[in-house]
Amino acid sequence: MSTKLPPPSKSQNYVTVSALTGGFITLGDRFFVAPADPEAKRTVPSLCFLVTHPNPPNATFGTKRKPLRMLFDLGLRSSKERYPTALQRHIEGRAPFTLEPGVIEQLGKGGLTVSDIDVVMLSHVHYDHHGDPEDFPSSTFVVGHGVLDVIAHGLQGQGSHQHFQSDLFRHNTVFELPPAGLHAEINGMDLEWKPIGPFPAALDLFKDGSVFVIDTPGHLPGHINLLCRIGPEKWVCLCGDAFHDLRLLTGEKEIGTWEGADGNTLCIHLDKEGAKESIGRLRQLQEIGEGKVELIAAHDEKWLKENKKSLLPGMVE
């Protein structure tokens, strides 16, 4: 694996990235970091991102439209009633929470509607990231490997947050990425997993070095990150739930665990050691980026507070 990120080509395409707030929930520190104050809580956003490619290859994702617009995550559903009963109870335990305005209303602030979104890529399919897929019937959905199995069969006994709707994508066209290392085809596009920086597996999504899908295992099967080139010397890495607290990235804290109702040990990450390794690789990405790579986790309330200008119609700079 390289100690550097690939330099821009002479005809390099750059993408723009705009943030949206897909609702807010309140999280207890003890579920995420250790050691933790058992009473400490944070109200955090579920960030989503609009990634716009100005000049994609012909028929990318089955469309010839330029620019191509892709949402990375959809946040929370726009109302509690759109969740199944088990997840409604879970969200009530995350009060105070805010679900409105939904992502669609925020797209309107950028002069966009759901029909303008060509692709929806999900970092993973927890309730606070998959949003309302049925509201995007004309968009192509892309998910990481293992997601469709999780949707179909669930992860019983792993905590109240591990509830999934088997018919979540009943109105959508969905492409699941193959395991890292195997041939990838999305809607006629041939892609190949290759190392980038500290990561052993990434897909050059547009084959022009502008956007890389990064395999970041640990949190949930199919968890992926998106590394976007937004300028000649500037990258943004959209980290999903690879980490929930910046103190994990700095090494000030360790990944937290808690005791479940039946006495078993639970962790917000299904594979704690895998998540720890992914966090380590993200830390390395920051180091080799030498200040040119910005990491944004989905629940980083500090980033949102300091970067309101990046909310649509603004952009990350």
Enclosing H/E stretch for 282: helix 272-289
The CATH number assigned to the domain with range 16-310 reads 3.60.15.10
Q: What is the pLDDT along the chain (317 residues), one digit of tens a residue?
A: 567 899 999 999 999 999 999 999 999 999 999 999 999 999 999 999 999 999 998 778 888 889 999 999 999 999 999 999 989 999 999 999 999 888 999 999 899 999 999 999 999 999 999 999 999 999 999 999 999 999 998 886 566 668 898 999 999 999 999 998 878 777 777 888 999 999 999 999 999 999 999 999 999 999 999 999 999 999 999 999 999 999 999 999 999 999 877 778 889 999 999 999 999 999 999 998 777 999 999 999 999 999 999 999 999 99
The pLDDT value recorded for residue 161 is 67
Do 114 and 74 form a contact (C-beta atoms < 8 A)? no
Using CA atoms, how far apart are residues 281 and 2, in angstroms rounded to an integer? 12
pLDDT tens digits, one per residue of 113-127 = 999 999 999 999 999
Do 274 and 218 form a contact (C-beta atoms < 8 A)? yes
Using CA atoms, how far apart are residues 297 and 276, in angstroms rounded to an integer? 15
Non-local (6+) Cβ contacts of 313 within 8 A are: 18, 109, 110, 111
Helix (H, G, I), strand (E, B) or coil at 268: coil
Helix (H, G, I), strand (E, B) or coil at 156: coil
Using CA atoms, how far apart are residues 20 and 314, in angstroms rounded to an integer? 10
The pLDDT value recorded for residue 156 is 66
Task: From 71, 218, 60, select the one nearest 135 (Cα to Cα).
Answer: 71
Using CA atoms, how far apart are residues 132 and 218, in angstroms rounded to an integer? 24
Bridge partner list, 283: none
The number of C-alpha atoms within 13 Å of 8 and in the hemisphere containing its C-beta is 15
Using CA atoms, how far apart are residues 129 and 135, in angstroms rounded to an integer? 14
Using CA atoms, how far apart are residues 177 and 151, in angstroms rounded to an integer? 15
Q: What is the DSSP letter of 98?
A: B
Using CA atoms, how far apart are residues 112 and 136, in angstroms rounded to an integer? 13
Cis ω on the peptide bond leading into residue 313 (within 30° of 0)? yes
Do 186 and 61 form a contact (C-beta atoms < 8 A)? yes
* Count of Cβ atoms closer than 10 Å to residue 235 Cβ: 18
Ordered by start, the domain boundaries in the chain are: 16-310
Paired tokens of 223: 């968890």
